[in-house]
Structure 1
């Protein structure tokens, strides 16, 4: 043992000596590392490269497609200048195995200077030694990586070389300038963009010219007077001084902190974050950097402020919340004009702040529920994207495709009885209220007991209100008040990312949820407000285990609308082959289903019948006529569709009928570009693979719960999903032949042959052309919601058996 320790220590000494030698060589050549490099200039000289005008658009389309959000390789974010100046690190954000929480490294939040980032272990990608032209290039990791790709472009072969590791959990090689010679020798093909085509000479030269001039940056233009006036009105509103105003603002902040706030009358690509600041309106924002929005901001006064988002927008963490004059009036109506007296402000005791039923007990429950319903898709999308961009912790607890509706706030007594929710608030706590540990069994038993007690209390309460044992009818479902398209939602899961769309999209799914206010609120505080992406293993597993309870509660609410004699059979189908020993646990969750329903059913498939009734009842507020996935006679078209679009729709409708084992050979998310011969009329579709599971009652080994014979496809017009796995480009005159070939795909080899003709590989010469087209198309159709798609999941095309079919 002593010998092993000695060898380890010796190795560390040798490595330290090597690193010191490399650093000494750079110091001799380019001078010492400077504690601060001032890159800010008042304005660029004539002929100089501008970061915002010239460089950022290139980084946005070529680099930020991988280097954005928490899953940016080596935490290098190219979405803004501050991310590039910060540099990279070997520390992982997504690390499910860590036993203690990590120090957060949120850009713009957890450090204010380059030196602070260096103290946190980040290494530079820009030159920080002598500020002379030769050093700006030879001591810049950004330049070295671009040059490496230029010198060693992707091989023009059918298949991407196996030397590229594009698995989600692959090990990052986060080299530094000092280690770059070794990196270059070992990984000559790993220049940037990694496993994707190189930049054009023109694009690279623009970046190189910017680096050569010192990577200098001029300030962005100041906000317009109009924007300042809008922000001023909202900050005045959010910082009212009465107890009622202050409690309302705290509630709004804890629900909107992850939102990309877009104000009416402002430019389409101008967004803000709602933050807590130590400075009042009119002064520069100084954000208080707590891990969670309900954490104690400290003893000093603070203010709710709107901080402009100064970075490239990536779809995967872009959750838009619209603020308008009507929205401000709505807040007044819900929270300020109600005949409610707020007698005190809650504190920030960690034992209670994670429980909104305690914190906001003096705000009417109906008002809170109405607030969430008004923008239900935003909040459901928050669960999906949350503060983490992606993650199986939340997503392997749900099915690949399901529908969501909500209880009507006026008829569902549970959702508007403030007194009852306050009385049971002790039963509605979530794991983030306790310090995370690895004592999962005791934690699970604790919250399982609370959930059981809550469901019992809820059923007892409802029985007292309805002693005749009569349950829900269709009017107990929220219909969007006839105008709100959030009434019906569809969730698509794509392994460890997901999407939410308005309406019921796709064929009738296996499951559905009906959400009431206490369920809605708990999911938000579990997966959004209370989730810490830097948390330890215990925190992540506790979150996943508790979400089981909430999912089943939503499913049971759905079952309560179905005939009482069919519920157990449908529920059992949802939990087929549950792990041995889980029966008692599952039975404990099968609660609140003793009352009958007032809905009349006429078929032997009440679940599907109920979905159709929901479409008829609540579909007035949203477009529920799915012409691609639910057309009974193959003659469904948009009334304004062109002949080319009708032709494409008819062909794509056949794709939506593919199901079963055949689906295994297809990617999770495919973006299809239908080339009509006229760019302005080209069409975009998304093909989504829905993978069936026998149940969601297990944490791990999802592969063992797969039921591929029940897999389906959904086809959607436009773009759905943040992480495309494949591109297909189809010319309109070939579309029927192309779709017939697609229908004949049975295995990986078939798909490989199809993709050779109609697909775009990672090393294809037209890869960036297709990527740019989808980005441009999405932006034209949805200018506020659009952003860059992440290419990190873009598949390698394999050509042999399914076992070697790398997705």
Structure 2
């Protein structure tokens, strides 16, 4: 063999040998691990209601580990220490001091706790699309079982079918092997913090300069804006998709790394000079905490016009403390009320979203005070006497404080009575002053943009907000004026402490009951005077009448309304006229639930989906007494419908539970009226927590509807689930579940995020 050929042959052999001996490529957390967590884990392990506080949306959450301590504990007599990711501690050691323990570290000869949990789940796969064994408890009734590494063996003996992912189609073999290799190698992290683009950096500088501008007036406006933005996921005009930021208080100014001031509440005394800064939102975006807010050049110009165009001055800094937290109307009274209210109206959906969907991930403290579906409107600023009448504003402001600053358990009753009486004194003042004003008319309703009309749907312990008027004409409607909107925001967002004790949470819930009543009474001023008592009697049946007598200020029964409404059905006529007058502002026309002619579907969509909507409309606006299948439905069901052309639609099928009243903290079941339940069906995702999902070919929707109409009991519903249902054990469960997020990315990309499956039921 010639030398040159031998040399080439030898090099080829050596090269092949070297390649064969190359080590397996190192696993990257960012490239290999976080995508698996996002697909199979984040749907249960995010936010405060993540099992054992294990948050797998980021490397920091995974490194923090798990804890036996409950965030949601309505019985604790002492407030617990906050455990907010990225805020209250930063290293595993610091988190261990707060009673967290590692799920990633091997324990001597034992593999990491996560490794053993995954192995337990992988060796006990579920029967495809079968109902889960009854011994696997899911949802809110599941005990918070959080075994530490040394307790795993006992857990596995007691719960042999409850490895991870819990009670759902699990990891693929490749995903399982990748995670186990990563854990065996010590779970290395390479996550990089999100960095702003050049264009975002310029806008961040502009906005930070605005909120930190020198001067007493500028400082007060900056503080007020921060308190109204701290919960938002901020995004910028022309910014990078998926880049979001949050306003924080820092010890350091622009140009220096952020040093977070981590007080419990955003309006607690910082104890130091404050700089308002924007820092990136890290980790996987999850829908339930993703409340977005856009900043742009136009928004900055609007803010400058609202807050800096007048000659108002600040004579003294208001300082901090319980009274300043309790009454923002006093704290910020130097800022023109018209500017504050108009700012909130411009983005009304955001503000209502913050107290309906946020700031907590499980909201039963508040949601049992609201009905399952209602519409929301806002009083026009020029007709809001708190804005236009300085004498009335001066008299009302001291009465607008909200409770919750004092969490002494022994003082709950006395605190509640004091704030109730002060609130009722305000309501009496409002009633009497408005009685001397012009009669309410259509011009009393704000109609500035498509935030003017909102729909709210409650799903037991969570709720959602949507622009537009969705669903049948609801039993109740709310009308916010500025004092009511601002009080609600401060009571349920700024001042609410998810880690607070039973006293704080009870005061929050009790006062929100008064807020609801105030919003209802505001709306009733639009109705004919002689109809108001009858509506109240309908909304506060049985024990509700006692509550009206004990705790609510009486309504104005004499001041007429200027609206010309059908005397036989004024509320229904109001809704009909509203939809005509403000049709251009109605972001979500709804022919499915409010079908007024033979065509009960949206125009200009795929014909197969049109036919499906026409069929689905047969299920809406019918009480459960005449549609028995409603009794079997969970709160929020998703329908995935695909036409022959390949077009796919996602619909929310919501169960609206009826109650004789929603005026008490306890005993909801005793006030439930199941025969009056209805369903709303609407295109889109109207829940952060899907309870179940059906996958239905469009040409089978008529059969689905027929089966729903004919189903009279659990056995009949079981057949529907067997044919079209996507159970937790379905082989393609994750494909269908994450298609919901894909749909959001297609239809509403800014607000898209991973949905939560903690409430996905075992039907």
Q: TM-score scaled by structure 1?
A: 0.89
Question: Counterpart of 1:781?
Answer: 747
Question: Counterpart of 2:668?
Answer: 702
In structure 2, how many angstroms separate the alpha carbons of the residues matched to 1:73 and 1:787? 19
8 Å Cα contact 2:609-2:641 kept in structure 1: no
Equivalent position SS for 2:712 = coil
Matches within 5 A, 1:7-26: none
Question: Counterpart of 1:615?
Answer: 579
Question: Counterpart of 2:252?
Answer: 279
Q: Note the C-alpha offset of 1:637.
A: 4.0
Alignment partner of 1:223 out of 175, 196, 215: 196
Question: Counterpart of 1:117?
Answer: 95
In structure 2, how many angstroms separate the alpha carbons of the residues matched to 1:304 and 1:485? 30
In structure 2, do the counterparts of structure 1 residues 60 and 593 end up closer, same or farther at CA, with 3 Å as the change threshold?
farther
Question: Counterpart of 2:412?
Answer: 440
Question: Counterpart of 1:338?
Answer: 310
Equivalent position SS for 1:432 = coil
8 Å Cα contact 1:478-1:618 kept in structure 2: no
In structure 1, how many angstroms separate the alpha carbons of the residues matched to 2:83 and 2:391? 41
Question: Counterpart of 1:525?
Answer: 490
Q: Note the C-alpha offset of 1:651.
A: 1.7
In structure 2, how many angstroms separate the alpha carbons of the residues matched to 1:405 and 1:125? 48
Of stretches 471-480 and 588-597 in structure 1, the one that deviates more from structure 2 is: 588-597
The question of 1:498 aligning with 2:463 is answered yes
Question: Counterpart of 1:14?
Answer: none
Matches within 5 A, 1:99-498: 99-127=77-105, 138-156=110-128, 158-220=130-192, 222-298=195-271, 300-417=272-389, 420-464=392-436, 466=437, 470-480=438-448, 484-498=449-463
In structure 2, do the counterparts of structure 1 residues 349 and 222 end up closer, same or farther at CA, with 3 Å as the change threshold?
closer
Question: Counterpart of 2:59?
Answer: 81
1:536-592 Cα distance to aligned partner (Å, 9 max, x none): 111111111111111111000110000101100111100011258435225x43334
Question: Counterpart of 1:541?
Answer: 506
The question of 1:672 aligning with 2:639 is answered yes
In structure 2, how many angstroms separate the alpha carbons of the residues matched to 1:418 and 1:424? 10
8 Å Cα contact 1:149-1:198 kept in structure 2: yes
Q: Note the C-alpha offset of 1:434.
A: 3.0
Alignment partner of 2:564 out of 568, 575, 600: 600
Q: Note the C-alpha offset of 1:416.
A: 4.2
Of stretches 510-519 and 349-358 in structure 1, the one that deviates more from structure 2 is: 349-358
Alignment partner of 1:56 out of 34, 40, 51: 34
Equivalent position SS for 1:535 = coil
Equivalent position SS for 2:404 = helix
Q: Note the C-alpha offset of 1:671.
A: 0.7
Equivalent position SS for 1:351 = helix
8 Å Cα contact 1:549-1:589 kept in structure 2: no
8 Å Cα contact 1:294-1:354 kept in structure 2: no
Question: Counterpart of 1:10?
Answer: none
In structure 2, do the counterparts of structure 1 residues 463 and 774 end up closer, same or farther at CA, with 3 Å as the change threshold?
closer
Q: TM-score scaled by structure 2?
A: 0.94
8 Å Cα contact 1:692-1:706 kept in structure 2: yes
Question: Counterpart of 1:742?
Answer: 708
8 Å Cα contact 2:530-2:558 kept in structure 1: no
Q: Note the C-alpha offset of 1:155.
A: 3.6
Question: Counterpart of 2:528?
Answer: 563
In structure 2, how many angstroms separate the alpha carbons of the residues matched to 1:778 and 1:354? 38
Q: Note the C-alpha offset of 1:734.
A: 1.6
In structure 2, how many angstroms separate the alpha carbons of the residues matched to 1:259 and 1:428? 25
In structure 2, how many angstroms separate the alpha carbons of the residues matched to 1:173 and 1:122? 14
Equivalent position SS for 2:140 = coil
The question of 1:794 aligning with 2:760 is answered yes
Alignment partner of 1:731 out of 697, 700, 707: 697
1:482-507 Cα distance to aligned partner (Å, 9 max, x none): xx110000000000000101111000
Q: Note the C-alpha offset of 1:623.
A: 3.0
1:587-636 Cα distance to aligned partner (Å, 9 max, x none): x4333443111111234010111122222223322335312111122314
8 Å Cα contact 2:233-2:290 kept in structure 1: yes
Question: Counterpart of 2:9?
Answer: none
Q: Note the C-alpha offset of 1:677.
A: 4.5
Q: Note the C-alpha offset of 1:73.
A: 0.6
In structure 2, how many angstroms separate the alpha carbons of the residues matched to 1:258 and 1:417? 32
In structure 2, how many angstroms separate the alpha carbons of the residues matched to 1:314 and 1:286? 26
Question: Counterpart of 2:612?
Answer: 648
Equivalent position SS for 2:88 = coil
Question: Counterpart of 1:93?
Answer: 71
Gaps of 5+ in 1: 1-44, 798-807
In structure 2, do the counterparts of structure 1 residues 540 and 327 end up closer, same or farther at CA, with 3 Å as the change threshold?
same
In structure 2, how many angstroms separate the alpha carbons of the residues matched to 1:666 and 1:222? 44
In structure 1, how many angstroms separate the alpha carbons of the residues matched to 2:385 and 2:654? 38
In structure 2, how many angstroms separate the alpha carbons of the residues matched to 1:754 and 1:106? 42
In structure 2, how many angstroms separate the alpha carbons of the residues matched to 1:714 and 1:407? 27
In structure 1, how many angstroms separate the alpha carbons of the residues matched to 2:107 and 2:391? 64
Q: Aligned pair count? A: 737
What is the RMSD computed on CA atoms of the aligned residues? 1.8
Question: Counterpart of 2:684?
Answer: 718
1:626-666 Cα distance to aligned partner (Å, 9 max, x none): 12111122314433212112122212212224422322111
In structure 2, do the counterparts of structure 1 residues 743 and 369 end up closer, same or farther at CA, with 3 Å as the change threshold?
same
Q: Note the C-alpha offset of 1:787.
A: 0.8
Gaps of 5+ in 2: 1-22
Equivalent position SS for 2:689 = coil
Equivalent position SS for 1:67 = coil
8 Å Cα contact 1:658-1:743 kept in structure 2: no
Equivalent position SS for 2:32 = helix
Q: Note the C-alpha offset of 1:373.
A: 0.5
Alignment partner of 2:720 out of 727, 750, 754: 754
8 Å Cα contact 1:64-1:788 kept in structure 2: yes
8 Å Cα contact 1:341-1:362 kept in structure 2: yes
In structure 2, how many angstroms separate the alpha carbons of the residues matched to 1:619 and 1:293? 38
8 Å Cα contact 1:365-1:418 kept in structure 2: no
1:83-122 Cα distance to aligned partner (Å, 9 max, x none): 1100001000000010111111111111122111001100
8 Å Cα contact 2:306-2:339 kept in structure 1: yes
Equivalent position SS for 2:595 = coil
In structure 2, do the counterparts of structure 1 residues 767 and 114 end up closer, same or farther at CA, with 3 Å as the change threshold?
same
8 Å Cα contact 2:75-2:501 kept in structure 1: yes
In structure 1, how many angstroms separate the alpha carbons of the residues matched to 2:73 and 2:286? 22
Matches within 5 A, 1:567-582: 567-578=532-543, 581-582=546-547
Q: Note the C-alpha offset of 1:753.
A: 1.3
Equivalent position SS for 1:566 = helix
In structure 2, do the counterparts of structure 1 residues 129 and 284 end up closer, same or farther at CA, with 3 Å as the change threshold?
farther
In structure 2, how many angstroms separate the alpha carbons of the residues matched to 1:48 and 1:678? 44
